[in-house]
Amino acid sequence: MSGYPPLAERMRPTNLEQYIGQKHLVGNGAVLRKMIDRKVISSIILWGPPGVGKTTLAKIIAKQLERPFFILSAINSGVKDVREAIEKARKARFFSSPSPILFIDEIHRFSKSQQDSLLGAVEEGVVTLIGATTENPSFEVISPLLSRCQVYVLKSLEKEDLLDLVNKVLSTDIVLKEKNVVVKEDTALFRYSGGDARKLLNILELVTNAEITQDTIEITDELVTTHLQQNPAQYDKNGELHYDIISAFIKSIRGSDPDAAVYWLARMVEGGEDPKFIARRLIISASEDIGLANPNALLLASNCFEAIKMVGWPESRIILSQVTIYLATSPKSNSAYQAIKDAQTLVKQTGNLPVPLHLRNAPTKLMKEMNYGKEYLYAHSYPNNFVEQDYMPDELQNQRIYHPQNNQQEAKVNERMEFLWKDRFKE
C-alpha cells in the first residue's frame, strides 16, 4: 500500500507482549524471559527456520535491555565490516556500562576468518553477540565461538500462533483494519506460509492488495492459490517443507525403502538443497539407524561428506545417491542410540557416583597412597586380553545398558560378550 512500509514490517513486534510464538523461550518463567526481565544477557545464537522471529527477538532484547544495537548481515558483510562494527560498539560503551549488542543475521554464512574476527570482542565483552542461523550451529559455527555462546532453538509457528497473527493483523494493522477482510478458509494460507510468519504476512498483503476494489475480501483457498500461482508441493529449502522432506528422506532410509529414499533425495536435489546438509543427515542416520549392524555405513557416510566437498554439483548427486541406497539397504540397529539415551537417563537418576578406587588415575604419590588405581587388573596381561573385574560405580554393578540387537553383526558381538562375561550378557 502506497505510503506505508510492507505489512511484515508494520506488524513487527516491539516488545515481548506483542511477540507471537516461542513460549518455551520467552513465555512467563522461560529462560530468555528471565534474562530479559533481569536485564542480563550473555552471547547467544538463535537457531531456527526462517520467519519465526529471530531478528525481531534480537531487537526486542536490545530495546528492553536499553543497549546500543548494531546489525550485520553475513550475506554482504566481510571481515572489514565486522571490525568496523566492533569498533563502533567499543566507542558506544561507557565505563562499566553493559556491552552493546551485535546482531549477525545468517551467521552460518560467515567464513572461518570472519568468525575468528569476532572472537576477541566476544571474549573481552566488547560486544554481546546475538547470532541468527537456519543451519545447525554445531556444523556451521567455529568451536571457539560456539563455546562462548548459548544456543537457543526457535520452532516453526504452530497453526494457533498463525491464527493469532492473522486475527491481530486484521484488527490492528493501520491499513487492513480499514478493510472488510474475512478469512473463510485458511488451509492454503497456512500451507504456503509453512510456519513462517513473514511469508504469511506477505501472502496476506499480496491477496488483499489484489482484491482492493472489492467491498468485502473473502480469503479462500482458491483465492490464495490463484494469486500465488505456484505449485503447493514446491520445494522451499528455507521453509517448513525443507524439514518435512528431510524427515521423509531419513524415515525412508530407516524403513529400508531405497526407492522412496532416492525419490526424496531427488526432491532435495531439484530444489537446490545444500548437498552438505544432506550429507550431514546421512552421517547421523548411519550412526543412529544402522549403527553396529553395519559399522561401515558410518565410514561411507563420512567419506561422502568429504567427497562432495571435492566434487561439487551436479556430480555430487551420484555420490549422495550411492550412499543413500547403501544406507537404505543396510541392516538396521539403533542399539548405540538407545544405549547412550539410556545411559544419560541413568546418570540423571543416579547423579555423580564416585569412580571406584581401582579405576582412578594415580599420577601423584599422594594419590597412590590413597589407593588410587590399586588392585586394577590390566586386561592385556590375561588370556584373550580380558579379566573379569568391576568397571561401574558400586551402586550400579551388573547394570545393563547396551543390548545387542538381532542382526548378523551384533550377533557376533553378543557371542563375544557372552564368552567373556558369561551370564551377564545373556538376554
- pLDDT at 282 (0 to 100): 94
- Give the separation between CA 165 and CA 142, rounded to whole angstroms: 36
pLDDT of 234: 45
8 A C-beta contact, residue 140 and residue 133: yes
What residue type is assigned to position 349 of the chain? Q
Give the CA dihedral 320, 324, 330, 336, nearest 10 degrees.
Answer: 90
Query: Which residues, other chains included, contact 306 with Cβ-Cβ below 8 Å and sequence gap of 6+?
Result: none
Residues of the chain with pLDDT under 50: 1, 230-235
- What cell was used for 245? 522432506
Task: Please classify residue 62 by burial: count the beta carbons closer than 10 Å to its beta carbon, then call 0-12 exposed, 13-18 middle and 19+ buried.
Answer: buried
- In this prediction, residue 233 carries a pLDDT of 42
Scanning the structure block, which residue is given the C-alpha cell 513486534? 13
Q: What's the rounded Cα separation, in Å, for the pair 185 and 181?
A: 12
pLDDT of residue 96: 67
CA-wise closest residue to 149 among 165, 134, 164, 138 = 138
Question: Radius of gyration (Cα) for the chain, nearest Å?
Answer: 27
pLDDT at residue 383 in the model = 84
What pLDDT was estimated at residue 364?
Answer: 65
Closest by Cα among 317, 274, 241, 278 to 108: 274
At 36, list the grid cell: 530479559
Residue 405 near residue 294, CB atoms below 8 Å:
no
Name residue 167's amino acid. Answer: N
Identify the pLDDT of residue 232: 41
Which set of grid coordinates corresponds to residue 154? 526457535
Cis before residue 13, ω within 30 degrees of 0?
no
Vertex 379: Cα angle to 378 and 380 (nearest 5): 95
Task: State residue 231's pLDDT score.
Answer: 42
User: Taking CA 243 as the corner, what is the angle to CA 335 and CA 25, rounded to the nearest 5 degrees?
Assistant: 90
66 half-sphere exposure, CB direction, 13 A CA radius: 4
